[in-house]
């Protein structure tokens, strides 16, 4: 009996050990399974971080519909109606009495009233009639429709490329081919082309409806960036196939925030980048094409109006060189619950320093704001000196024409006017008061001053007394 009991105890201990091992293994298996399921679920959430309320297709144009699946992004998109001024930019709400011609009850402040020298710079061109501070994306179509510039010049449908949601319109007009649709709508008069669009820029212009991946939908940018990449030695560049994700976070903005012109009688929207993205590269292209936007009313010079070359200037700045995209500053990431999304309330980083700047720059908000404004103040001061110099040259040219100066002498000075004006306009039209590339902006403005003064000296050598330059520092901002 004693031996049996002695033999039974080891068996019991062994059984208990086996049971315990099985239990531990089972618990470990359950825990591991739960962990793997949790990881899988988070991966799935990362791939599809929204509740699919409605089905989106490649023809879903209305942002209200996209907003059902992406309410946080849509809320931000709608907030682009906000008008808020920074020290050197932004718009403020100016009330106006609606009319039958223009039903808007609010507009942005007039830049022509802020700085009347702009009227002299653009004399004879539609921008001398009406030019206001740009408002947010929500107003981009409405403001273009009702600007007084529409009453001065008959605009082509090309203008809508950057003022409306065009992807679906291009597809329909081109029977599925957006390039053919782009070419067809370019040639239409503005108000005929306007019938083909309904919304300002919308979700489908930047996102694939199935994958939500960023994409370029504007043929003019596809062609322009292919030319710009060729200058860098990259052949046959296909932006939607070859761009990195970070590049795309700048390219989708560069579809519209660029310098451009309407090429030929077909009014093809063209980005003049075949020589590169710098101001002298673009001016060289226009010289090769023999292109002028208009003839200056007071001097007879063939001159150029820079549009809004934010993309070109950003490319020359330290942020671009450091791999920082447009979206990083103008649409910074934000947390909404457990989600990380891009803020679609597109606006000046100076109005959102906490998320736009302090993610990378560990300095107090007031310090960063002071740095921004100091940089802009320097550029704005040089801009005013360049404006004074250009206006003085225009005054001298006008006097020379009145005095009967020879055509050869006038042409020399007109050439200097063209060079000076495009450079000044390049910085003036760019929406950052030089902040996208401060050193580049200062270089361009210094050259503008030099060209304007060279023009005055050329006339002085012909006997035209130079116009005294007004005190520097004009302009209201």
pLDDT band of residue 44 (cuts 50, 70, 90) is low
Percent of the chain's residues with pLDDT above 70? 93
CB 324 within 8 A of CB 336: no
> Residue 295 pairs with which residues in a beta bridge?
302
pLDDT of residue 476: 53
Which residue's structure tokens are 């020290």?
A: 87
Mean pLDDT, all residues of the chain: 93
Query: CA nearest 299: which of 191, 389, 408, 414?
Result: 414
Distance CA(257)–CA(78), nearest Å, equals: 20
Distance CA(72)–CA(93), nearest Å, equals: 25
- In this prediction, residues 122-151 reach a mean pLDDT of 96
CB 365 within 8 A of CB 424: no
- In this prediction, residues 366-387 reach a mean pLDDT of 98
pLDDT-wise least confident of 44-53, 87-96, 117-126, 217-226? 44-53
- In this prediction, residues 128-133 reach a mean pLDDT of 96
pLDDT of residue 239: 98
Distance CA(44)–CA(49), nearest Å, equals: 8
Q: Other C-beta atoms within 10 Å of 433: how many?
A: 24
CA atoms within 13 A on the CB side of 29: 6
pLDDT band of residue 14 (cuts 50, 70, 90) is confident
If one compares 37 and 409, the residue with the highest pLDDT of the two is: 409
Distance CA(256)–CA(141), nearest Å, equals: 13
> Residue 89 pairs with which residues in a beta bridge?
86
Query: CA nearest 73: which of 246, 254, 214, 217?
Result: 214
Q: Check the CA dihedral 162-168-173-176 and report its sign.
A: positive
- In this prediction, residues 448-469 reach a mean pLDDT of 86
Percent of the chain's residues with pLDDT above 90? 83
Three-state DSSP at 106 gives strand
Q: Other C-beta atoms within 10 Å of 335: how many?
A: 9
pLDDT-wise least confident of 27-36, 151-160, 275-284? 27-36
pLDDT of residue 18: 84
Which residue's structure tokens are 């006339």?
A: 459
Q: Which two tokens stand for residue 354?
A: 């906490």
pLDDT surpasses 60 at 285: yes
- Backbone φ/ψ region at 404: left (φ over 0), alpha (ψ -120 to 50), beta: left
Distance CA(368)–CA(405), nearest Å, equals: 52
DSSP characters for 396-434?
HHHHHHHTT--HHHHHHHHHHHHHHHHHHHHHHSSTTTT
If one compares 52 and 401, the residue with the highest pLDDT of the two is: 401
Q: Which two tokens stand for residue 120?
A: 């002299």
pLDDT surpasses 90 at 274: yes
If one compares 357 and 13, the residue with the highest pLDDT of the two is: 357
Which residue's structure tokens are 């989106």?
A: 56
pLDDT of residue 24: 87
pLDDT surpasses 70 at 45: no
pLDDT band of residue 141 (cuts 50, 70, 90) is very high
Query: CA nearest 104: which of 83, 87, 78?
Result: 83
142-169 pLDDT tens trace:
999 999 999 889 999 999 999 999 999 9
pLDDT of residue 466: 65
- In this prediction, residues 19-48 reach a mean pLDDT of 75
Buried b / exposed e along 121-160 (16+ C-beta atoms within 10 A): bbbebbbbbbbbbbbbbbbbbbbbbbbebbeeeebbbbbb
Beta strands at 302-303 and 85-86: parallel, antiparallel or unpaired: unpaired
pLDDT of residue 389: 98
pLDDT surpasses 60 at 403: yes
pLDDT surpasses 80 at 2: no
Beta strands at 106-107 and 94-95: parallel, antiparallel or unpaired: antiparallel
Q: Report, in angstroms and rounded to the nearest whole number, the Rg of the chain calculated over CA atoms.
A: 30
Query: CA nearest 111: which of 138, 83, 132, 88?
Result: 132
pLDDT surpasses 60 at 326: yes
Distances (CA, A) of 236 to 222, 228, 233, 258: 11, 11, 10, 21
Distance CA(401)–CA(410), nearest Å, equals: 8
Angle at 320 between CA 293 and CA 345, to 5 degrees: 80
Three-state DSSP at 19 gives helix
Ramachandran angles phi, psi of 262, nearest 5°? -100, 110
pLDDT band of residue 463 (cuts 50, 70, 90) is confident
Highest mean pLDDT among 313-322, 333-342, 459-468: 313-322
Query: CA nearest 111: which of 369, 425, 435, 392?
Result: 425
Helices (H) and strands (E) in the chain, counts: 21, 10
- H helices of 111-244, in order, are 111-114, 117-121, 140-146, 149-152, 167-173, 178-187, 190-193, 219-231, 239-242
- In this prediction, residues 459-471 reach a mean pLDDT of 71
Query: CA nearest 107: which of 87, 130, 129?
Result: 130
pLDDT of residue 85: 92
Angle at 261 between CA 174 and CA 166, to 5 degrees: 30
171-228 pLDDT tens trace:
999 999 999 999 999 999 999 999 999 999 999 999 999 999 999 999 999 999 999 9
229-246 pLDDT tens trace:
999 999 999 999 999 999
pLDDT surpasses 90 at 348: yes
């Amino acid at each position: 009996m004693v031996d049996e009991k002695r033999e039974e105890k080891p068996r019991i201990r062994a059984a208990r050990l086996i049971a315990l091992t099985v239990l531990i293994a089972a618990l470990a298996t359950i825990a591991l399974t739960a962990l793997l399921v949790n990881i899988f679920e988070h991966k799935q959430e990362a791939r599809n971080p929204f509740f699919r309320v409605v089905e989106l297709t490649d023809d879903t144009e209305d942002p209200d519909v996209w907003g059902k699946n992406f309410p946080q992004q849509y809320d931000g998109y709608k907030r682009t109606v906000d008008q808020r001024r920074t020290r050197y930019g932004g718009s403020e709400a100016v009330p106006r009495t609606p009319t039958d011609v223009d039903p808007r009850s609010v507009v942005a402040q007039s830049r022509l009233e802020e700085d009347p020298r702009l009227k002299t710079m653009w004399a004879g061109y539609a921008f001398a009639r009406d030019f206001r501070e740009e408002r947010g994306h929500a107003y981009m179509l409405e403001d273009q429709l009702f600007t007084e510039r529409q009453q001065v010049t008959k605009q082509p449908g090309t203008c809508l490329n950057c003022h409306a949601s065009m992807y679906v319109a291009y597809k329909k007009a081109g029977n599925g081919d957006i390039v053919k649709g782009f070419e067809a709508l370019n040639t239409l008069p503005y108000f005929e082309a306007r019938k083909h669009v309904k919304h300002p820029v919308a979700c489908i212009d930047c996102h694939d409806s199935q994958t939500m991946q960023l994409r370029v939908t504007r043929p003019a940018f596809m062609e322009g960036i292919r030319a710009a990449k060729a200058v860098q030695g990259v052949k046959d560049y296909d932006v939607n196939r070859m761009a990195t994700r970070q590049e795309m976070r700048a390219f989708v903005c560069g579809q519209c925030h660029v310098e451009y012109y309407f090429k030929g009688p077909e009014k093809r929207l063209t980005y003049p980048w075949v020589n590169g993205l710098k101001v002298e590269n673009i001016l060289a292209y226009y010289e090769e094409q023999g292109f002028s936007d208009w003839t200056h009313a007071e001097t007879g010079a063939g001159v150029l109006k820079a549009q809004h070359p934010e993309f070109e200037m950003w490319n020359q700045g330290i942020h671009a060189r450091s791999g920082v995209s447009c979206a990083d500053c103008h649409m910074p990431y934000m947390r909404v619950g457990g989600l990380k999304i891009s803020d679609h309330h597109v606006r000046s980083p100076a109005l959102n320093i906490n998320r736009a700047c302090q993610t990378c720059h560990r300095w107090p908000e007031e310090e960063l704001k002071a740095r921004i404004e100091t940089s802009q103040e320097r550029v704005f001061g040089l801009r005013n000196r360049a404006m004074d110099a250009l206006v003085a040259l225009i005054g001298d040219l006008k006097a020379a024409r009145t005095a009967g100066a020879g055509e050869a002498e006038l042409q020399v000075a007109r050439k200097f006017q063209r060079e000076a004006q495009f450079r000044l306009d390049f910085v003036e039209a760019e929406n950052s008061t030089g902040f996208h590339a401060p050193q580049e902006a200062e270089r361009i403005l210094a050259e503008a001053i030099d060209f304007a003064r060279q023009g005055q000296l050329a006339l002085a050598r012909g006997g035209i007394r130079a116009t005294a330059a007004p005190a520097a520092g004009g302009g209201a901002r």
